[in-house]
Amino acid sequence: MRIGIGYDIHRLVEDRKLILGGVEIPYVKGLLGYSDGDVLLHAISDALLGALALGDIGQHFPNTDTQYKDISSIKILNKAMEMVRGRGYAINNLDTMIIAEEPKIHPFRSRMIGVLADIMGAAKGDISIKATTNEEVGSLGRGDAIAAYAVVTLAKKRCEVKHGYLP
């Protein structure tokens, strides 16, 4: 069993789509970023890399590399999951927290969980997405940004050993 933690924050600005958890959410602003700015998927991807002790997404997906400009963060999560599978691990469970003053996350939660379950090859019951406001405190509380935390545990896929998943 291995455990990883991830965190990310992106500024909310006008004239951007709001993409969170791989789902487009109707809102007057969106997250500024080199990719689509999906803080939740970035936090989860960092948690996966952390569980594998393979550095962070800044190293693997540098914002100086034009191939990552404006890409869907689903591609980043897919690559992180390739590393997880390549080392013989599977998702045990994932817990996340989105901190957003607005908009309300709850109506989109089950769609986000569906997207994550598909990409991560996990049961929906092993994926948790929680949300809270920052109680109007600080930059998150003013709605200047959205942040996300993720904690993941990975389990070794013992049944796959004979198929060559392990080194």
Q: Is 61 in the site for Mg ion (CB under 5 A)?
A: no
In sequence order, what are the residues at sequence separation of 6 or more whose Cβ sits closer than 8 angstroms to the Cβ of residue 81? Answer: 48, 119, 120, 121
Contacts with Mg ion by CB under 5 A: the residue count is 2
Q: Which amino acid is at 161?
A: V
**Between 29 and 42, whose beta carbon lies closer to Mg ion?**
42
* Minimum distance, C-beta of residue 41 to Mg ion, in the bound complex (Å): 9
**Between 21 and 88, whose beta carbon lies closer to Mg ion?**
21
* Minimum distance, C-beta of residue 145 to Mg ion, in the bound complex (Å): 11
In sequence order, what are the residues at sequence separation of 6 or more whose Cβ sits closer than 8 angstroms to the Cβ of residue 77? Answer: 22, 41, 44, 45, 48, 119, 120
Q: Is 46 in the site for Mg ion (CB under 5 A)?
A: no
Q: Is 42 in the site for Mg ion (CB under 5 A)?
A: yes
* Minimum distance, C-beta of residue 33 to Mg ion, in the bound complex (Å): 6
Q: Is 8 in the site for Mg ion (CB under 5 A)?
A: yes
Residue whose token pair is 């600080």: 138
* Minimum distance, C-beta of residue 165 to Mg ion, in the bound complex (Å): 30
State whether the Cα torsion 107-39-44-115 is positive or negative: positive
Q: Is 29 in the site for Mg ion (CB under 5 A)?
A: no
Please give the angle made by the CA atoms of 107, 37 and 155, to the nearest 5 degrees.
Answer: 75
Binding part of the chain for Mg ion, among 4-12, 97-105, 113-121, 153-161 by CB under 5 A, reads 4-12
User: What is the Cα–Cα distance from 3 to 73, expressed in whole angstroms?
Assistant: 22
Binding site for Mg ion (CB under 5 A): 8, 42
